[in-house]
Structure 1
Amino acid sequence: MDTQIVIPEMITATLGLAVFLLGARLTRRFAILREFNIPEPVTGGLLAAALFAVIAVISGKDLVFSTTSRDFFLVLFFSSIGLNARLGDLIAGGKPLAILLVLTVLTIAAQNVIGVVGALIFDFPMQAGVLFGSAALIGGHGTAIAWAPKVGNATGLEGAPELGIAVATIGLIIAALIGGPIAKFLVERNGLTPSRPDAVQAVGIGYDKEDTTRPITHVSLMKVMLALNLSIIGGYMLHEVIAEAGLMLPLFVPCLIVGIVIGNLVPILFPNVSPVAGTPSLSVISEFALGAFLAISLMTLDFASLRGLGLPIAAVLAAQTLFAILFVIYVLFPLLGRGYRAAVLAAGFGGFALGATPTAIANMTAVTKRYGPSPIAFVVLPLVSAFFVDIANAIIIQMIVSH
């Protein structure tokens, strides 16, 4: 008897769009969601995930979603971030970038200390602490899936993959929910405002500007899509070069790099061509791509992976969440200068530390749509999470697993 219901790619993508629109509608209807900066796709995605879990229980079959479109939306989104990135912002982001690199290493170490202690308390092997820690949290589902077999082989823990996926799943949900409230607390307690209120909104258009922005036409959309397609094509080519050199990076990283190059070179080489950077069309497409990616990611969460692991995961993740909140508010925010950009990065780091880079960007987008732009934050955080974290995380995890 077939125990699975496979959802084809087209239906997955269509459901993702519907889920995103549901979240957008709920955000506009219920002010509390805007008040606490909850990303639009998070609301719809979690409701859909709960509904699909109920369907799976009633039918007795697992829902398996095809997710190729989700991965394309991620590449499209980071290409748009690259096109919007200005060299001046990259240079200005040098100091916060360095600070975030150091804080990321400290977070990885702290998550694994908490994870190891939690593993020992609940009679798991010490090495399983990485699955309660940075392998599943700051590393996300991909890192957890990659390291779980190694933890299982080293310890004989049969449920290592299920443990890693379950922790990563709950971590992603928490990450999507805590970033906005953290920023609200920091911004309103300190009376913060953007240093450049007229700067380009990196992703999306502010709630109070949706009806007054420059018009979006089929021509402007076509220009943006051409630039994005060129960035993605160049990103694929660069990805092959990087892979042949022996360095493994996610595809969205070279697409981000090529987008930065195109976005900064075209105005110099072709001064008479109207740029796509900073246009409402690019902002809308970037938010659409991010929203679709996150909606599909959240609606396809497998709640069945949590069965039988409730108490250990709940206890350890409660400790991890408390650490993340206190670390962001009392360490990261002061070290980044206590300004508006620091508050936006605090929201992003909260999402990144417990979830994934797209979650972090979604948190920052919700914050900046309400309070105002912070373009440097949208360049700095992806650089840290894309280039650096996997290397540092792998080194620390290997030290623990091989112990």
Structure 2
Amino acid sequence: MSEVFVVPNMLTATLGFAVFLLGAKMTRKVRFLREFNIPEPVTGGLIAAALFALYTFVSGTSLSFETAVRDYFLVLFFAGIGLNARLADLFSGGRILALLLVLTLATIIVQNIVGMAGAVVFGFPTKTGVLLGSASLIGGHGTAIAWAPNVAAMTGLAGAPELGVAMATLGLIAASLVGGPIAKYLIAKNDLKATSTEEGDVVGVPFEEEHEVTEISHVTLMRVMLSLHIAIIGGYILHGILEELGLMLPLFVPCLIVAIVSSNLRPVFLPKAPPVARTPTLAVISEFALGIFLAISLMTLDISTLSSAGPAILVTVGVQTVTAVALVVWVLFYMLGRNYNAAVLASGFAGFSLGATPTAIANMTAVTKRYGPAPIAFVVLPLVSAFFVDIANAIVIQTIVNF
């Protein structure tokens, strides 16, 4: 058995900063990465993951990263999304939200059909298809690990956990790489332009404005961080209440909700207070938090799990990726109105359906940094991925496993 070196949180964060800066430098140097909207932390994170895997192979020492610091950046980011949300956006996005809910359910069903077909073709038990489908893709690593014992018990497949983890890992990589090119294709083909008249950026500052931002100071940073932390504290309280009621949601969901409520009540109770929502400071902090979260998430991927990725996994991931791209390009984009917001959401939905919510947001951030803001996309997509997908996915998977 190989030795295990535990990387403490401080070092994990430090490596995350370096990995993100590597990706940022490459994005600015390599035109291809910029043209196809590949998120900065994806480039650096995947390079780092490969280097860490090489180190493990050569030295025989496995790396185990402490990730509490990563989870802090996640809730910080979603609190920032909540502070930027306006009730008018939520009301105007009602139709989009409903359509995304329907498309999410359709995606879950289609992924499992493809997964079961792959299982049959490659000689796996049919029910294993959920691990080649929505349990690992739209569900991610956590859902795959949670369902693997059930699938193993029902099918007798001893390698179910490894199968699910490998599928989720490849899905996350695919999700990080396809969203940006999808948006580029749709925007260029349909000659789309950002239509938002809102001032300020939701996440990140456009590349061409990075050296022009002058409104950020230690005071604005402190003000925004205070607002974010107040929302997060409220999120922790709400999370505890929801747990007592038996409703299990990721911590970032109640933080998002509290931030939305506090941001919309702020003008009522503090009408003369300096602004926080949609300011350059909040945009920069949000992008910083998302970038570090995703950089750490990708650099800590255990690529060695892909050693078990035989033809069944590789072919199925390929088919699932092509199917997801076809779904967002030929169905979602048209259903959402064939406009700029639809193109941004297409990039996000591709990242979400194959990987995870932060991947989706990173895809959309890379797109909006280049083409312009799409505020409603950053509010609507997290609501779908946070509230709906886990419940719908569990129902569909349970139905297939018990059938």
TM-score bracket for the superposition, by shorter chain length: over 0.9
3-state SS, counterpart of residue 202 of structure 1: coil
> Which ranges of structure 2 fall in alignment gaps of 5 or more residues?
none
Q: Which structure 2 residues correspond to residues 338-377 of structure 1 after superposition, within 5 A?
A: 338-377=338-377
Query: 1:199–1:373: 8 Å Cα contact kept in structure 2?
Result: no
Q: Which one-letter code corresponds to 2:81 in the other structure?
A: I
Deviations 1:355-396 (A, max 9, x none): 000000000000000000000000000000000000000000
3-state SS, counterpart of residue 132 of structure 1: coil
3-state SS, counterpart of residue 64 of structure 2: strand
Identity %: 64
Residue equivalent to 2:66: 66
Matched, 1:76 2:101: no
Residue equivalent to 1:300: 300
> How far apart in 1 are the matches of 2:309 and 2:19?
28
> How far apart in 2 are the matches of 1:213 and 1:178?
30
Instruction: Report the Cα offset of residue 164 of structure 1.
Output: 0.6
Structure 2 vs 1, CA of residues 89 and 214 (structure 1 numbering), >3 Å: closer, same or farther? farther
Query: 1:199–1:374: 8 Å Cα contact kept in structure 2?
Result: no
> How far apart in 2 are the matches of 1:227 and 1:62?
39
Residue equivalent to 1:105: 105
Deviations 1:261-294 (A, max 9, x none): 1111111111010120011110011000000000
Quote the RMSD (CA, aligned, Å): 1.0
The more displaced of 382-391 and 151-160 is 151-160
Q: Which one-letter code corresponds to 1:287 in the other structure?
A: E
Q: Which one-letter code corresponds to 1:156 in the other structure?
A: G
Residue equivalent to 2:9: 9
Q: Which one-letter code corresponds to 2:38 in the other structure?
A: I
Residue equivalent to 1:391: 391
Query: 1:199–1:375: 8 Å Cα contact kept in structure 2?
Result: no
Instruction: Report the Cα offset of residue 198 of structure 1.
Output: 4.9
Q: Which structure 2 residues correspond to residues 226-305 of structure 1 after superposition, within 5 A?
A: 226-305=226-305
Residue equivalent to 1:141: 141
Deviations 1:89-137 (A, max 9, x none): 1111101000000000000000000000101111111111000000000
Pairs aligned (count): 403
Deviations 1:131-187 (A, max 9, x none): 000000000111111111111111111111111110000000000000000000000
| TM-score normalized with structure 2 length | 0.99
| TM-score normalized with structure 1 length | 0.99
Matched, 1:130 2:130: yes
> How far apart in 1 are the matches of 2:154 and 2:164?
15
Instruction: Report the Cα offset of residue 3 of structure 1.
Output: 2.4
> How far apart in 1 are the matches of 2:15 and 2:219?
28
Residue equivalent to 2:161: 161
Instruction: Report the Cα offset of residue 30 of structure 1.
Output: 1.3
3-state SS, counterpart of residue 6 of structure 1: strand
3-state SS, counterpart of residue 20 of structure 2: helix
Residue equivalent to 1:180: 180
Query: 2:85–2:260: 8 Å Cα contact kept in structure 1?
Result: yes
Runs of 4+ in 1 over 4 A off after TM superposition: none
Instruction: Report the Cα offset of residue 213 of structure 1.
Output: 2.8
> How far apart in 1 are the matches of 2:40 and 2:398?
37
Q: Which one-letter code corresponds to 1:247 in the other structure?
A: L
Query: 1:127–1:401: 8 Å Cα contact kept in structure 2?
Result: yes
> How far apart in 2 are the matches of 1:347 and 1:214?
30
Deviations 1:48-89 (A, max 9, x none): 000001000001122111111111111110000000101111
> How far apart in 1 are the matches of 2:328 and 2:272?
44
Residue equivalent to 2:324: 324
Q: Which one-letter code corresponds to 2:163 in the other structure?
A: L
> How far apart in 1 are the matches of 2:108 and 2:127?
15
The more displaced of 340-349 and 13-22 is 13-22
> How far apart in 2 are the matches of 1:308 and 1:209?
45
Instruction: Report the Cα offset of residue 214 of structure 1.
Output: 3.7
Instruction: Report the Cα offset of residue 309 of structure 1.
Output: 2.4
Residue equivalent to 2:152: 152
Q: Which structure 2 residues correspond to residues 179-218 of structure 1 after superposition, within 5 A?
A: 179-196=179-196, 198-218=198-218
Query: 1:266–1:275: 8 Å Cα contact kept in structure 2?
Result: no
Query: 1:9–1:69: 8 Å Cα contact kept in structure 2?
Result: yes
